[in-house]
Chains A and B, each alone.
Chain A
Amino acid sequence: MSEQSPQEITQADHELLVQGVVDYAIFMLDPRGRVVSWNGGAQRIKGHRTEDIIGRHVSVFYPPEDVAAGKPARELEVAAAEGRLQEEGWRVRADGTRFWADVVVTALRDDTGRLRGFGNVTRDMSERRIAHSALGESEESFRLLVQSVVDYAIFMLDPEGRIASWNAGAQRIKGYRAQEIIGRHFSVFYPPEDVAAGKPARELEVAAAEGRLEDEGWRVRADGTRFWANVIITALFDDGGRLRGFGKVTRDMTERRTAERALDERSRLLTHLVHAQEMERRRIAWDVHDDTIQSMVAVGMRLQLLADRLEGPDASAVRRLNETVSAAIRRLRDLTFRLRPPGLDRDGLVEGLTSYLDQVVTGAGLAYELRHELDREPPSETAITIFRICQEALTNVRKHAQAKAVSVSLSSSGHGVLVRVADDGVGVGDPADVLATPDHFGLIEMRERAEMAGGWWSIRGRPGEGTTVEFWVPALAAGGEGGRG
Chain B
Amino acid sequence: MNARRDQDTLKELLTVLIGDDEPMIRDVLSEVLQAEPGLSVVAVAGDAEEAIVLAERHAPRVAILDVRMPGGGGAHAARVIRDRCPGTRVLAFSAYGDAGAVEEMRRAGVTEYLLKGLPNTDIVAAVRRVAAGR
Contact = CB atoms under 8 A, between A and B. Distances in A.
Interface stretch (B43-51, B52-60, B98-106): B98-106
Nearest to A296: B117
Contacts of B120: 301, 304-305
Contacts of B25: 294, 297-298, 301
Interface stretch (A139-147, A202-210, A340-348, A466-474): A340-348
The interface size bin for chain A is: 20 to 34
Contact of B28 (A302, A333, A351, A359): A302
A329 B27 CA distance: 19
A300 B121 CA distance: 12
Most buried by A among B28, B31, B97, B104: B28
B82 interface: no
A297 B116 contact: yes
B22 to A, nearest CB: 5
B79 interface: no
B1 interface: no
Contacts of A343: 98-101
A112 to B, nearest CB: 110
Contacts of A289: 95-96
A298 B28 contact: yes
B78 to A, nearest CB: 16
Interface string B7-43: 0000000000000001011011101100100000000
Interface in A242-296: 289-290, 293-295
B119 A305 contact: no
The interface size bin for chain B is: 20 to 34
B29 A301 contact: yes
B116 A294 contact: yes
B8 to A, nearest CB: 29
Contacts of B116: 293-294, 297, 329
Contacts of A298: 22, 24-25, 27-28
Interface string B105-130: 00000000000110110000000000
Contacts of A354: 99
B33 to A, nearest CB: 11
Interface string A308-333: 10000000000000000010011001
A295 B117 CA distance: 10
B24 A294 contact: yes
B36 to A, nearest CB: 11
Interface string B81-98: 000000000000001111
A265 to B, nearest CB: 37
Contact of B98 (A294, A301, A304, A341): A341
B68 interface: yes
B95 A294 contact: yes
B66 to A, nearest CB: 9
Contact of B95 (A293, A300, A305, A347): A293
A19 interface: no
A297 B32 CA distance: 13
Contacts of B27: 298
A301 B24 CA distance: 10
A329 B96 CA distance: 12
A363 to B, nearest CB: 11
Contacts of B35: 305, 308
A289 B94 CA distance: 10
B9 to A, nearest CB: 24
B117 A305 contact: no
Contacts of A301: 25, 28-29, 32, 120
Nearest to A358: B99
A341 B104 CA distance: 16
Interface string A371-391: 000000000000000000000
Given A301-B28, A302-B28, A329 B100 contact: no
Interface of A: 289-290, 293-295, 297-298, 300-302, 304-305, 308, 326, 329-330, 333, 341-343, 346-347, 351, 354-355, 358-359
Given A289-B95, A293-B95, 15 more contacts: A293-B117, A294-B25, A294-B95, A298-B24, A305-B28, A305-B35, A330-B117, A333-B97, A342-B100, A342-B101, A347-B100, A351-B99, A355-B98, A358-B99, A359-B97
